[in-house]
Amino acid sequence: MVRLLADRNARLYLLGQTLSTLGDNALWLAVAVWVKTVTGSNSAAALVFFAFALPQIIAPIWGFIVDRTYRRRLLVVVNLASAAVVLLLTFGHGDGDQLWLIYLVMFLYGVGASLISAAQTALMPQMLPDELLPQMNGALRTVQEGIRLIAPLLGAGAFAALGMTPIVVVDALTFLLAALLTGLIRLDEAELERGGQNFWSNATAGMRHIMHITALRQVVFSTAVALLSIGFAEAIIFPVVEHGLDRPAAFIGVLVAVQGAGALLGGTTAATMMKRLGEPRAVGLGMAAFAVGVALLIPPSLPVVVVGMAVLGLGVPWLVVGLMTLVQRRTPVAVLGRVATAVEMLVGTPQVISIAIGAALVAIVDYRILIGIIVAVVAACSAYILTRSVSDVPEPAGSDRLMPG
């Protein structure tokens, strides 16, 4: 970590993402709590997450844009646009009749998040040496998840005391600051790939690369299957709090903060785990921790649920950082945007589907049954990854990562 922080570009980008993530985490929880408060519906609140995740279905479009645009410039523009989009929420917090605006803004917010995620993934191998990629990915995830220690409490508390407007304005300001700091990064980006293939070949380049690399194929598709059930967790948190713990919806902020504490530990240990076990094994162990944590949400006991949230929080960074680092190390930089968004589509589409299904099922099915489904599916995917041969996981290809694809 000391070596990472000694890099000027890393410091600037980490600071920008810290500010932006702080605003984001406060916002999305406040929006979900607001929808729950206004409508009284767990399903309506879960649809906030669905609207945000929906752009992942068309992720290859964002990858094509990323690979045809200078990544740093794109990050600046998208951060500025996201600041403008989020301000639209100031017009949509009056009553339940304006839910359509909330969902629209969250969808556009998701578009921005998809572009930022892909551009960030594609930019980092040009911004940092290969050996610092796990540390940077781990640091970003630590920031993203660790901020849950304070942001949800601030978001839910600010919503209860002041309403949505102050939260929206602060989030917009964090996007502006992130754009400024990203613009200060110094690097010479590789020349953009121009033409040479038809649209279909360009659009499917990411998918073809994933299918060609054994480790990527195994990890990505296992993660996709796991996320086909993990999305239920977005909906079950409401009945866990309301029925299992007999607490108000705003108490979700406390549990999400506990998850952030677990994720803080997961993010800081992710790089070490990958160094010792490799990226796929880190993903598999992350899934295992998530399955155990979700299982602990079943008992109607606050101490047990708190432990469960911490354990599942621990597993998420191992899964995400392991997957992201594997993609960066096994992909040529010229197609990294398309590969990153193909991965996002493959793992994000099942998650969107499961969020939508979970939002519907939580109204008619006991949430403990949904938890059982999550545990069974995620545990099976974890076992599959952990039993794959280590020989299927090649070391980084060095300069091969920079070859055009």
Q: How many angstroms separate the CA atoms of 118 and 290, rounded?
A: 24
Q: In the predicted model, what is the mean pLDDT of residues 318-333?
A: 91
Predicted local confidence at residue 307, as pLDDT: 96
- Residue 391 scores a pLDDT above 90: no
Contact of 347 with 381, CB cutoff 8 Å: no
Bigger pLDDT: 298 vs 96: 298
Q: Please, how many CA atoms are within 13 Å of residue 322, restricted to the half-sphere of its CB?
A: 32
- Residue 332 scores a pLDDT above 70: yes
Amino acid identity at 44 = A
Predicted local confidence at residue 2, as pLDDT: 72
Q: pLDDT digits over 141-157, tens only?
A: 888 777 767 766 677 67
Query: What phi and psi, each to the nearest 5 degrees, are found at residue 22?
Result: -60, -45
> In this structure, is residue 393 part of a structural domain?
no
Q: DSSP of 207-242, one letter per residue?
A: HHHHHHSHHHHHHHHHHHHHHHHHTTHHHHHHHIII
Q: How many angstroms separate the CA atoms of 314 and 311, rounded?
A: 5
Q: Which of 61, 114, 139 is nearest to 325 (CA)?
A: 139
> Which of 103-112, 145-154, 208-217, 229-238 shows the lowest per-residue confidence on average (mean pLDDT)?
145-154
Predicted local confidence at residue 78, as pLDDT: 92
- Residue 121 scores a pLDDT above 70: yes
Q: How many angstroms separate the CA atoms of 244 and 152, rounded?
A: 20
Contact of 351 with 233, CB cutoff 8 Å: no
- Highest mean pLDDT out of 56-60, 157-161, 243-247, 369-373: 369-373
Which pLDDT band holds residue 368 (cuts at 50, 70, 90)?
very high
Q: How many angstroms separate the CA atoms of 246 and 42, rounded?
A: 15
Tokens for 354, please give them: 């499961």
Amino acid identity at 177 = L
> Which of 195-204, 217-226, 244-253, 303-312 shows the lowest per-residue confidence on average (mean pLDDT)?
195-204
> Which of 127-131, 162-166, 371-375 shows the lowest per-residue confidence on average (mean pLDDT)?
162-166
Bigger pLDDT: 329 vs 32: 329
Q: In the predicted model, what is the mean pLDDT of residues 309-315?
A: 93
Radius of gyration of the chain (CA): 20
Bigger pLDDT: 158 vs 350: 350
> Which of 173-182, 203-212, 221-230, 308-317 shows the lowest per-residue confidence on average (mean pLDDT)?
203-212
> In this structure, is residue 48 part of a structural domain?
yes
Predicted local confidence at residue 217, as pLDDT: 93
Residue 365 burial class via C-beta count within 10 angstroms: exposed 0-12, middle 13-18, buried 19 and up:
middle
Contact of 165 with 90, CB cutoff 8 Å: yes
> In this structure, is residue 41 part of a structural domain?
yes
Q: Please, how many CA atoms are within 13 Å of residue 359, restricted to the half-sphere of its CB?
A: 17
Give the count of domains, the chain.
1
Predicted local confidence at residue 297, as pLDDT: 94
Predicted local confidence at residue 191, as pLDDT: 64
- What is the pLDDT of the chain when averaged over all its residues? 83
Provide CB contacts within 8 A for 195, sequence distance 6+.
none
Q: What is the pTM of this model?
A: 0.76
CA dihedral 68, 69, 74, 77 (to 10 degrees): -100
Q: In the predicted model, what is the mean pLDDT of residues 344-364?
A: 84
Provide CB contacts within 8 A for 37, sequence distance 6+.
249
Q: In the predicted model, what is the mean pLDDT of residues 261-283?
A: 90
Predicted local confidence at residue 299, as pLDDT: 92
- Highest mean pLDDT out of 98-112, 212-226, 247-261, 390-404: 212-226
Ramachandran sector of residue 144 (left: φ over 0; alpha: ψ -120 to 50; beta: rest): alpha
Contact of 185 with 12, CB cutoff 8 Å: yes
> In this structure, is residue 398 part of a structural domain?
no
Which pLDDT band holds residue 195 (cuts at 50, 70, 90)?
low
Predicted local confidence at residue 205, as pLDDT: 82
Bigger pLDDT: 280 vs 261: 280
Contact of 245 with 296, CB cutoff 8 Å: no
SS3 of residue 194 by DSSP: coil
Predicted local confidence at residue 390, as pLDDT: 54
Tokens for 181, please give them: 């700091």
- Residue 120 scores a pLDDT above 90: no
- Residue 70 scores a pLDDT above 80: yes
Provide CB contacts within 8 A for 318, sequence distance 6+.
266, 269, 270, 273, 282, 283, 285, 286, 289
Domain that holds residue 377: 2-187+200-388
Provide the CATH number for the domain around residue 68. Answer: 1.20.1250.20
- Highest mean pLDDT out of 49-53, 187-191, 324-328, 354-358: 324-328
Contact of 381 with 225, CB cutoff 8 Å: yes
> In this structure, is residue 394 part of a structural domain?
no
Q: How many angstroms separate the CA atoms of 4 and 229, rounded?
A: 35
> In this structure, is residue 343 part of a structural domain?
yes
Contact of 332 with 400, CB cutoff 8 Å: yes
- C-alpha pair distances (Å), 224 with each of 200, 343, 354, 381: 23, 9, 11, 9
